[in-house]
Every structure is written in C-alpha cells, then in structure tokens.
Amino acid sequence: MQISQELSLPSMGCGTWAWGNQLLWGYDQSMDEQLQAVFNLCVSNGVTLFDTGDSYGTGRLNGRSELLLGQFTKDYQGVGKNNICIATKLAAYPWRWTRQSMIKACKSSAKRLGRNVDLVQMHWSTANYAPWQELGLLDGLADLYEEGLVKGVGLSNYGPKRLQHVHKKFAARGVPITTVQVQYSLLSTYPVTQLKLKDVCDQLGIKLIAYSPLALGILTGKYSEKGSLPKGIRGLLFRQLLPGVRSLLECLREIAEFRNKSMSQVAINWCICKGTIPIPGAKNVEQAQQNIGALGWQLDSGEITALDQAAASTDKKMVQNIFQTQ
C-alpha cells in the first residue's frame, strides 16, 4: 500500500548525531533525563523534525540513539506531539547489499523507535568505492515507500550527478525523493557553491537538509586559537582551521552583536536563509535554547552578502565527508 500523505518538514530540525557521537564515545545513562528535557523543549517550541541513524550508538550500544528517540517521543505529552517527524538514516554496511537487507534494517529501526519511520534515508552512497552494492540498497529504499512502511525517502551525502541518476530510477517507479542531506555551513559551502546541489534540488522539488551547520562548533565562537580546544581529532582539526577563519568569525561576531543574537544563531539562520533545513545537534537544554533562537527572524540581504564574502575569503574549509559524491 502506498502512502499518499505528503511528508511535511518543519523549517528546522534537531539532529541527533550529537547524541550518536556521545553514545559512541562513552554513553552515560544519567544523560537520559537531560536529553529528554532537550527533546521536550524542542518540540514545545515547534522544532519537530528529529534526524538520527541506525549506526548512532554502535557495539553494545547499537541503535541506542533510536531507542532513546523512541522513548522520548512516547513520553512527551505536550503541544506538537502529533507533528513529530522522525527521520533515520540506514547505513550502507558492507553486509547490506540486497533490497531485503534495507527493508529489514528499517523494520529494526521502527522497532527501536516504537513507531514507523517517517523519513528513511540512505546514510551514504557507495558509488565512490562499490557502486554495485548500491543497486540493491536503493531498490530496498524504494520498496519501503511502495509498501507504505515510510512516508518519504531521502538520500545523504549525494551530489547532483548521483542524485539525478537516482531520481530518474525512482521516478520510473513513482517514488519521490523528499530530501537530500549534506554537510553545509559557512565553512562547508562546497555542495551548494561548487556542486550546485541546491539548484538541482529546487528543480526536482527536493528539500536540502544541512547537517553540521555549526561546523562542529567552530562557528559558535566558543573556540579560539589561544583558548582550550576539544580533545582528539576534533581539536587537531580546529587548530588547523581557526587561523584561516578569523575574518569569518569576526563577521559573524559583528552581525551577532548588532542583532543581539549569538554567533551560532546567526550561522544557523544563514543556512535557513539559503533555503535549507539545518539540523544542529543539542546535548543539553542550553544548546537547544541557542538553536531555537535561530528561528522567527531572518538576516537581511546585506548581512547574507557579508557572510557569503567572508566565507568565500577563508583560507581553510571544513574537511568534506569522504562519502560525498559528485
């Protein structure tokens, strides 16, 4: 049975990738109550799109992010409950290569969530390293829509050429592509400025979701060259990037001060003004409140131009996802 109801997506979502990373690198169950508060705050303020993935929380915590999201959805009883939209991404693991493996994976996600998935997405394309594997996975993705198990299907880390190829394949089956999700921020404009992905999405009627809109936190203004940096690989990356993004951060700071907003709110609002759906992560109520503050107003054309120019002049850019296709 095919679901004819259109999948409606709000202007901004809350990406649970931050929860996934937290689970992966050392999950603490004491965080559950705090994350429930984050979820409640977001939904009560009209942020009802939650993006997760079946690979968020691996090993002994396999699927933990979906389990938590399902629990939070069930326990929430406030305004907007009926508008909650759950999007999950199915990983293209090496052992997944048939259409049935995708159907099974989505059913497992639904079981963890305690409800059907609204938007199911291919987490990444295998076109860069095993194009043969993707054939069955895409067929399974379309099957999920045709069988009425999901309201919409989407892709992640796909460029315009690969997107057009999949769109043609799906259109032949009458399966619309609802969304495409890519890394997009003031420090990662490559998918839009160079690949022209937004233009193709607009032509095909597909909504563009922007993950990591705060560039892992660099655009929040929290970190500086002389200050403390995150540990591990993230800290090494920041140490390389920060000297080359001074002018961009200064531009963000000036606009934020003029608007009486935070730098992160300006950075997220820029993504919204570009016609995308940003999905910033939030691990605590303070971060969630910051994200929500990006809604209900818009940068003017002069501010957008200033940020565009500052972004274009930066010496460093965020490293692109290795799975991003052309």
Nearest CA among 100, 89, 99, 98 for reference residue 124:
89
Cβ(143)–Cβ(103) below 8 Å: yes
For residue 296, give both structure tokens.
Answer: 């209900």
Q: How many CB atoms lie within 10 A of CB 72?
A: 21
In the residue annotation, 211 being an active-site residue is answered as: no
The Cα 301–Cα 255 span in angstroms is 12
Largest Cα span, the chain: 59
Give the integer Cα–Cα distance in Å for 88 and 51.
6
d(CA 230, CA 242): 13
Residue 22, number of CB atoms within 10 A of its CB: 21
Whether 294 contacts 323, CB under 8 Å: no
Q: Residues near 251 by Cβ (< 8 Å), separated by ≥ 6?
A: 306, 307, 310
Contacts of 237 (CB under 8 A, 6+ apart): 216, 319
Contacts of 311 (CB under 8 A, 6+ apart): 186, 187, 189, 248
Q: What is d(CA 263, CA 218) in angstroms, rounded to the nearest whole number?
A: 10
The one catalytic residue among 27, 56, 145, 184:
56
Residue 246's alpha-carbon distances to 62, 65, 243, in angstroms, are 39, 35, 6
Residues ≥6 apart with Cβ < 8 Å to 121: 87, 88, 89, 90, 153, 154, 155, 156, 179, 181
> What residues act catalytically?
56
